Structure 1
Amino acid sequence: MIRFEHVTKSYPDGTTAVDDLTFEVAEGELITLVGPSGCGKTTTMKMVNRLIEPTSGRISLGGEDISAIDPVQLRRRIGYVIQQVGLFPHKTVLDNTATVPHLLGRPRKEARDRAAELLDLVGLDPSTYGDRYPDQLSGGQRQRVGVARALAADPPVLLMDEPFGAVDPVVREHLQNEFLRLQSTLRKTVLFVTHDIEEAVRLGDRIAVYGAGRIEQFDTPATVLGAPATPYTAQFVGADRGLKRLSVTPVEPGDLEQPPIVRLDDPAARAAGRLSADGAPWAVVLDADGSLYGWVPSAALTGAAGGSAAGPGTKKLAPQGTVRDHARRMDAWLPLGAPLKQALSTMLQHDAGWVAVQDGGRFLGVLTPARLHTALRRSTTADAANLPRGEIALDTVPASGHTVPGPGA
């Protein structure tokens, strides 16, 4: 969709902002351009919509040389979102969003209807926010309007220049989540400029790590973090890049342990016998449809005549009722393919020794801290060796699915 061929931008004072840049962005791909201030990433982006003209080289959009396209017409085909948003203060939110469709000649009602759809898409109810003015919005809300306005003409390409840099960290994370949700639906071709490696890793299908006017490495987030191509890249992504990989390493079926499973309506005595035979301190509890209900400790399924005060030799009683009578709900779960960072966060949030993993509504197994660590090591080793993750075997002490700690352990 976007192709740079030996593009250079130099200035009369001898400064070279971008030096012999060659790379390609596929249709529907989100590329993050990351690097320190003054490294050329914003210059790269602005050359795509001809806000800056290259000194030499060729940039093509959909196979067409952009130098042959009228700059105004070109910019109307490309969405543009900047940190300062740039909303018109005298126009309502709805009219701000409808600006580009109106400039393209769409009837006013059609443009406003499209604007209302997009405001709803970015989480701003048009009936609530449509008639407000920019100064009546929070910073995060203004950024949402900026994204909606950039999407209003349904452009194939979206340029984003540190769009979430001016809001606080909590709002920034929320905006990132919303944008990823939008991108999963719209699949725009996106160049996203940021100086934050965490943001680049989280959002990008691929990352272009900039040095001084050139790209030091252009690869997937996992590869950039796991196998930096140059000392500069390794220094830029940081010594804690192993932790950053948690955000881009998914939970896979091979990462999971398989604890004992009992059903919600199983007789408690049968479940107790199963756990006793396996030497297991607890089991996962599924309902009749195979969906996760929770867990049950073996201690809850056993009892003695006379209760805790019974003396030596007291006759053991068979557990009464069904597993349902003894099971405990478990909210620590996540979907297959979720990042390891989410798994670790879920464990900490619920103070759990494991999290359940599901595919849709189907229980697959549990992820423990030990397995999480192994998954991260395997992913890092695979990328460094340029091998599929499944082909990497690690020397590690295998953990038994029967001895992982229960929730709250």
Structure 2
Amino acid sequence: MIRFEHVTKRYPDGTTAVDDLSFEVAEGELITLVGPSGCGKTTTMKMVNRLIEPTDGRILLDGEDIATVDPVALRRRIGYVIQQVGLFPHKTVLDNTATVPHLLGKPRKQARARAAELLDLVGLDPSTYGDRYPDQLSGGQRQRVGVARALAADPPVLLMDEPFGAVDPVVREHLQNEFLRLQSTLHKTVLFVTHDIEEAVRLGDRIAVYGAGRIEQLDTPATVLGAPATEYTAEFVGADRGLKRLSVTPVETGDLEHPPVVRLDDPVGRAADRLSADDAPWAVVLDADGSVHGWVAADALAEGSGGPTVRDRARPMAAHLPLGAPLRQALSAMLQHDAGWIAVRDGDGFLGVLTPARLHAALRRSTTADAANVPRGKVSLDTVPDA
């Protein structure tokens, strides 16, 4: 969708902002451009909509050299979201969002109807927020309006220049979640500029790590964190890149343990026999439809007090997550619930449990696999045997 061919931007004073840049962004892909201030990432993005003209090389948009396209017409085909949002203070939220469709010749009624749809899509009820003005909104709400306005003409490409950088961390995380939800539905081709490596890791299908005017590494978040291509990249992503990998390493079936499973309405004696046969200290308890209810200890089944079924002796367990969830979410749930394990499901079906030891092993296998360029399931680990 977007192709850079030996693109250079050099200013009259001799400063080279971008030096011989060549890379591609596939249709529907989100690439995060990350690096320190002044490294050329924003210049790269602004050359796509010709707010900055390259000195050498060319940029192709869907196979067309953008240098041959009228800049105003080009910009109306590309969504643009910036940190300062840039809403018109004298226009309502609805009219701000309808600006681009109206400029493209849509009738006012049709443009406003499209704007209302998009406000709803970004989580702002148009009946509540449509008639408000920008100064009546919070920072996070203004950012949502900025995203809605950028999407109003249904552009195939979005350029986003630190769009969530001016809000507090809690709102920023919520906006990131909402944007990921939108992208999973809309599949726009996105260049997303950020200085925050954690945001880049969380949002990007691939990450372009910038040095001085050049890309040091362009790869998936997992590979950038697990196998930095250069010393610069390793230093930039940080010594704690192993922890950052928790966000991009999914829980897989091979990571799970499989303790005994009993049902809520099983007789206590049958459940006790099951644990005894497996020499297990506890079992996962499922309800009638196979969903995780909690767990039961062998000692509880052996006690004389309590009712005749597992239901009367089981303890609930709220810590569970779907297969494919990131290890970071699993670790967070374990800490939140003070749990020694967490149930993993596929839909509503129980698959197994993830323990802290298995979580650690999954992270090690992921790192080793990326470094060796082999599938994660092919990696075996040397471990210290239990005493």
Identify whether the pair has TM-score above 0.5, normalized to the shorter chain. yes
Which residue is 1:356 aligned to?
A: 343
Q: CA deviation at 1:397?
A: 5.1
**Which residue identity is paired with 1:329?**
P
Runs of 4 or more, structure 1, over 6 Å off, are none
Mind listing any 5+ residue stretches in structure 1 that lack a counterpart? 308-318, 400-409
Q: CA deviation at 1:201?
A: 0.4
Equivalences for 1:228-243 in 2 at 5 Å?
228-243=228-243
Structure exhibiting the larger radius of gyration computed from Cα positions:
1
Separation in structure 1 between the aligned mates of residue 38 and residue 318 of structure 2, nearest angstrom = 46
Which residue is 1:313 aligned to?
A: none
Q: Does 1:77 align with 2:77?
A: yes
Q: CA deviation at 1:289?
A: 2.2
Separation in structure 1 between the aligned mates of residue 147 and residue 120 of structure 2, nearest angstrom = 12
Which residue is 2:170 aligned to?
A: 170
Residues 1:355 and 1:244: Cα distance change in structure 2 (over 3 Å): same
Separation in structure 1 between the aligned mates of residue 385 and residue 9 of structure 2, nearest angstrom = 55
Mind listing any 5+ residue stretches in structure 2 that lack a counterpart? none
Q: Secondary structure at the match of 2:91?
A: coil
Which residue is 1:387 aligned to?
A: 374
Which residue is 2:322 aligned to?
A: 335
Equivalences for 1:4-403 in 2 at 5 Å?
4-304=4-304, 320-396=307-383
Q: CA deviation at 1:398?
A: 7.6
Separation in structure 1 between the aligned mates of residue 339 and residue 139 of structure 2, nearest angstrom = 36
Separation in structure 2 between the aligned mates of residue 128 and residue 330 of structure 1, nearest angstrom = 39
1:154-207 CA-partner distances (Å, limit 9, x unpaired): 000000000000001111111001100100110000000000000000000000
Separation in structure 1 between the aligned mates of residue 307 and residue 221 of structure 2, nearest angstrom = 53
Separation in structure 1 between the aligned mates of residue 385 and residue 141 of structure 2, nearest angstrom = 49
Kept after mapping to 2: 8 A contact 1:269/1:320: no
Q: CA deviation at 1:323?
A: 1.2
Q: CA deviation at 1:300?
A: 2.1
Kept after mapping to 2: 8 A contact 1:92/1:130: yes
Q: Secondary structure at the match of 1:236?
A: helix
Q: CA deviation at 1:261?
A: 0.2
1:346-370 CA-partner distances (Å, limit 9, x unpaired): 0000010010001111111000000
Aligned CA-pair RMSD: 1.1
Q: Secondary structure at the match of 1:57?
A: strand
Q: Secondary structure at the match of 2:284?
A: strand
Count of matched residue positions in the alignment of Structure 1 and Structure 2: 386
Separation in structure 1 between the aligned mates of residue 239 and residue 290 of structure 2, nearest angstrom = 43
- Normalising to structure 1: TM-score of the pair? 0.93
- Normalising to structure 2: TM-score of the pair? 0.98
1:292-334 CA-partner distances (Å, limit 9, x unpaired): 1211122222224xx7xxxxxxxxxxx7421112222211001
